[in-house]
Amino acid sequence: MSRIDGTAIAQKVHEETRQRIAALAARGIQPGLAVVLVGDDPASRAYVRSKDKRAADLGLHSVKHELPAPTSQADLIALVRTLNADPAIHGILVQSPPPAHIDESAVVVAIDPRKDVDGFHPLNVAKLALDDPTGFVPCTPLGCIRLLQEAGIETAGARAVVVGRSMIVGKPMALLLLRRGTDATVTVAHSRTRDLAAVTREADIVIAAIGRPHFLGAGHIRPGATVIDVGINRIDDPSSPKGYKLVGDVDYDAVAEKCAAITPVPGGVGPMTIALLMANTVTACERLTA
């Protein structure tokens, strides 16, 4: 079994990003990322902090807007439009999920697609479906593809099963796996799939993105498969000082010895999501200042 070290691979991506930032700095340009958080969800706040810290470490111009939970949709969209017009900002991210009274899709549509470094704007989704390289791809599935590449996993002709059909991970993941150059044969499974274990056992590559702790066990994975675990779930753990621990959608201990390669949680996909967000921001800057 090979453990795919997402932390180490993310560092490699960061070093590539540093070089690109240095090239822009030589032209007197600094990439700018604005992150907007509405409300005080603890997980979202922690995630925004980590993004802000990484951006500052890489030398990005980082702006963080923390808005109170009652902020109106009109005020949030007004802020987005201000950021769209700000030449110092090249990437805009509105942290998901927003409070219940906010229509998230309307906020996403308000973002300039050239600054949509999360890749959720309908124009960028369409470009992904059309294999148009001028769009932005969501950071988590893009990170998963990089993990497969760095681990030397053969994707051409491989049978891949994506468990989960969200717009954040599942659907873009399937499209990336189908792309020319990746060339996998893809099945998208979900909570209504009949005999899920029979479907996933056919896979050479399993991408787990269903959001349920330890949902996939030994009976779901065939010997020699590669498993990319996108899930980050908090479960109670009285032995931990925090009272909880983070686990994936895959039961790592039950599955790992069967696998040719597997990502851990934490330390697998998570670091790659932030690494590709920073890389996307630099790409946006390069395009907007070309």
Active site residue ranges: 51, 95, 118
N residues, the chain: 290
CA distance 204 to 238: 36
| Amino acid identity for residue 274 in this structure | I
Nearest residue to 12 (alpha-carbon basis) of 209, 278, 229: 278
Cβ atoms of 207 and 228 closer than 8 Å: yes
Query: Beta strand pairing status for 91-94 and 244-247?
Result: unpaired
4-8, Cβ contacts within 8 angstroms, sequence gap of 24 or more: 4/147, 4/150, 4/151, 4/228, 4/261, 4/262, 4/263, 4/264, 4/268, 5/267, 6/143, 6/147, 6/263, 6/264, 6/267, 6/268, 6/269, 6/270, 6/271, 6/272, 7/267, 7/271
Radius of gyration of the chain (CA): 19
CA distance 205 to 148: 9
- DSSP symbol at 99: P
Token output for 280: 């996307």
CA distance 264 to 140: 15
CA distance 197 to 222: 10
Where do we find the tokens 């017009």?
A: 85
